[in-house]
Chains A and B, each alone.
Chain A
Amino acid sequence: MPKLKLPAPPLPPGFPKPAPKRPGTPKQKPLEVAAEAGISVVDWVDERTSLSGGARWMMFRKVPKGTNWFYTLGSATMFAFLSQAVTGVFLAIYYRPDASGGAYESMRHVNDDVFLGEFVHGMHKWGSSVMVILIFLHMARTFFFGAYKYPRELNWIIGVVLLILTMAMAFTGYLLPFDQRSYWATIVGVNINGTGPLVGPYLSDFLRAGPEFGATTLSRFYAIHMMLIPGIIGALIGAHLYLVAKLGTTAPPWQKLPASAIDAEERA
């Protein structure tokens, strides 16, 4: 059976490297036994899936010189999305998409009775603002750094779809608590959609599930908000990250070429 080898941790210079084991020293410390067991499990999975190559490709690719804090905004957006997904599952456990009052009552119940209910509800509510802010910041970063240019055009396009879907999540989620504010704001919002050219009227009929705002409108919004769009967003984030790893992240536009590379350039 092939044994997976853990990569040596990258230690800062000057840090004493741990002495290599003498051959023949028996392994006995519990920590080592546990590590061994873990490696065996990973090994077993890897022998059947060959996933370790992909993981190594993702994790041990190099990021260019000069990569700075602005490059954390994309993963921060993803993290906000994950937080929304987790808190959303907790809310879905209690939520009832019932327009005749059940929806509102179920959110009341979450706020008033459920352990930490209002806290999780609040995290979901404010998490949406945080995610919207982060996605715009991330987009601004890629715009000003010219990261949408060759060869990353497709990643930019996937990003724009993600932006639209994120705003659609915000819009469909706003109706769900079914209080006065969300009800009337959504009616106006759907009506605004309806004034759009060509697809406008069809889009708002689709959202309302008919020409009038009715009982099925809420379950439709709920299905779109908790199944349809999150599924697409998850898949697109996967594609986005695949391309990020495949193409590599840009270097900051101001980053100077290393001297050795300039020499090679001049020779070429």
Chain B
Amino acid sequence: MNQREKEQYLREYMALKAAGKPFFPYAVAKDSLMAVVVMAAIITMSLVLGAELGPKADPTTTTYTPRPEWYFFFLFELLKVIKPAELVPLATIGVPTICMILLFLLPFYDRSPERRPERRPIATAAGIFTICAMGFLTYKGAEAGPPTQIDMPTPAAVTAQGPAFVAQYNKGKQVVAQSGCEACHKFGQNGNDGPGPPLTQIAKNLPKQAIARTLVNPTAPMPSFGALQQNDPAKFNAMVTFLSQLK
């Protein structure tokens, strides 16, 4: 907006303001009614939905679901959309940071004096697109709860090593299934494809020791299983056995 447009805006605004009504009581009445609605909504939600606590936090456990509050789902889903490992930092903080910078600077790059949405097609379209994208990602995040089942046939190479090994393999499969790995990794037909890489054939790329090391010192955002290794080595080893048979 140049100086002339600024002055014109202020002139028109003054006229509209002069034709308006005092904030008290007219706007205050509307605001108060809205406040009552907000309060009623909060009270109703509290009464209907309650505030149940889950089981107590246990850093050594293996049965958890890393699930954020629903309004962060869209960020989590963003991680899944962007696959290649070298682009993950971009998805996690890069895209949100860029969006934040774009938001901050909005008044500086959108300098036209026009205010009617239908005469600002780019801004309006971008706004609607952002709302739809966030809505869609939130919906996807809400829908995709982390599954806790892995259905995969036991490979012949495992059966060949005797029933003790099969038992170890099945125990590991169960631990993995209960540990929320599927929130981020795919195992055959199970689990979410991302943000983490699919693990269906992980043993082809990583030897057993490397798998164990990754579990203890994972790449962020994956949580570490170091505590499990110390507190319950049997469970940890079963996990590694199972993963090292995924070829």
Given A160-B103, A188-B221; A101-B56 close (CB under 8 Å): yes
Nearest CB of B to A185, in Å: 5
Are A184 and B92 neighbours in the complex by a CB distance under 8 Å? Answer: no
Distance of A182 Cα from B69 Cα, bound (Å):
9
Are B72 and A189 neighbours in the complex by a CB distance under 8 Å? Answer: yes
Distance of A74 Cα from B116 Cα, bound (Å):
20
Are A251 and B16 neighbours in the complex by a CB distance under 8 Å? Answer: yes
Tell me the residues in window 176-193 of chain A with beta carbons closer than 8 Å to chain B beta carbons: 177-185, 187-189, 191-193
Given A61-B22, A127-B42; A149-B59 close (CB under 8 Å): no
B136 contacts partner chain A, Cβ-Cβ < 8 Å: no
Residues of A within 8 A of B10 (CB): 151
Are B46 and A125 neighbours in the complex by a CB distance under 8 Å? Answer: yes
B164 contacts partner chain A, Cβ-Cβ < 8 Å: no
Distance of A147 Cα from B120 Cα, bound (Å):
13
Given A75-B31, A125-B46, A144-B127; A179-B38 close (CB under 8 Å): no
- CB < 8 Å neighbour of A80 from B18, B19, B38, B117: B38
Are B120 and A194 neighbours in the complex by a CB distance under 8 Å? Answer: no
Q: Which residue of B lies closest to A200 (CB)?
A: B93
Give the interface size class of chain B: 35 or more
B157 contacts partner chain A, Cβ-Cβ < 8 Å: no
Q: Which residue of A lies closest to B37 (CB)?
A: A76
Residues of B within 8 A of A72 (CB): 30-31, 33-34
Tell me the residues in window 141-185 of chain A with beta carbons closer than 8 Å to chain B beta carbons: 143-153, 156-157, 160, 163-164, 167, 170-171, 174, 177-185
Are B51 and A121 neighbours in the complex by a CB distance under 8 Å? Answer: yes
Residues of A within 8 A of B180 (CB): 184
B41 contacts partner chain A, Cβ-Cβ < 8 Å: yes
Residues of A within 8 A of B221 (CB): 188-189, 191-192, 194-195
Chain B 105-144, CB within 8 Å of chain A: the 1/0 string? Answer: 0111010011111001001100100010000000000000
B28 contacts partner chain A, Cβ-Cβ < 8 Å: yes
A66 contacts partner chain B, Cβ-Cβ < 8 Å: yes
Chain B 83-115, CB within 8 Å of chain A: the 1/0 string? Answer: 000001100111001001001101110100111
- CB < 8 Å neighbour of B115 from A60, A149, A265: A149
Segment at the A interface, from B60-68, B229-237, B238-246: B60-68
Distance of A65 Cα from B18 Cα, bound (Å):
8
Given A65-B20, A69-B30, A129-B71; A197-B114 close (CB under 8 Å): no
A94 contacts partner chain B, Cβ-Cβ < 8 Å: no
Are B15 and A257 neighbours in the complex by a CB distance under 8 Å? Answer: yes
Segment at the B interface, from A27-35, A46-54, A104-112, A223-231: A104-112
Interface centre among A118, A187, A200, A255 (most CB of B within 10 A): A187
Given A76-B35, A251-B16; A180-B64 close (CB under 8 Å): yes
Interface centre among A83, A178, A195 (most CB of B within 10 A): A195
A41 contacts partner chain B, Cβ-Cβ < 8 Å: no
Tell me the residues in window 1-24 of chain B with beta carbons closer than 8 Å to chain A beta carbons: 1, 6, 9-13, 15-24
Residues of B within 8 A of A251 (CB): 13, 16-17, 20
A210 contacts partner chain B, Cβ-Cβ < 8 Å: no
Are B69 and A123 neighbours in the complex by a CB distance under 8 Å? Answer: no
Given A79-B35, A130-B38, A184-B64; A104-B223 close (CB under 8 Å): no
Are A63 and B26 neighbours in the complex by a CB distance under 8 Å? Answer: yes
A14 contacts partner chain B, Cβ-Cβ < 8 Å: no
Given A63-B21, A170-B72, A192-B92; A178-B57 close (CB under 8 Å): yes
Residues of A within 8 A of B71 (CB): 129, 132, 167, 170
Residues of A within 8 A of B223 (CB): 184, 187-188, 191
A242 contacts partner chain B, Cβ-Cβ < 8 Å: no
Interface centre among A64, A171, A182 (most CB of B within 10 A): A64
Given A65-B19, A119-B46; A181-B13 close (CB under 8 Å): no
Residues of B within 8 A of A257 (CB): 12, 15-16
Are A64 and B20 neighbours in the complex by a CB distance under 8 Å? Answer: yes
Residues of A within 8 A of B35 (CB): 75-76, 79
B160 contacts partner chain A, Cβ-Cβ < 8 Å: no
7 closest A-B pairs by beta carbon, nearest first, are A196-B93, A122-B46, A261-B15, A146-B115, A183-B57, A153-B107, A191-B221
Pairs A–B under 8 Å by Cβ, sample size 19? A9-B25, A58-B23, A66-B20, A69-B34, A71-B27, A79-B35, A111-B52, A123-B43, A123-B46, A128-B69, A144-B117, A144-B124, A145-B115, A179-B56, A180-B57, A181-B54, A184-B57, A187-B223, A200-B92
Contacts A183-B58, A184-B65 known; list 9 others, CB within 8 Å.
A67-B27, A111-B53, A148-B110, A150-B6, A150-B107, A160-B100, A179-B55, A180-B56, A192-B93
